Amino acid sequence: MEIIPAIDIRGGLCVRLDQGDYARETVFDADPVAVARRWQEAGATRIHVVDLDGAREGAPRNEGVIRRVLAAVSVRVQVGGGIRDIAAIQQYVDAGAARVALGTAAVKDQTTLVNAVSLFRERILVGVDARDGMVATEGWLETSEMRALDLIQQLSEFGVQRIFYTDISRDGMQSGPNFPAINEVVEHAGGLPSPMAVIASGGVSSIEHLRRLRAIGVEGAIVGKALYTGALDLREALAEFP
Residues carrying an active site annotation: 8, 129
Q: Tell me, what DSSP letter sits at residue 219?
A: S
Q: Hey, which residues does 147 pair with through a beta bridge?
A: 134
Q: Which residues contact 182 (CB under 8 A, 6 or more apart)?
A: 165, 167, 198, 200, 213, 216, 218
CA distances from 32 to 27, 28, 51, 104, 167 (A): 11, 9, 11, 24, 24
Residue type, 218: V
Q: Are 100 and 78 in contact (CB under 8 A)?
A: yes
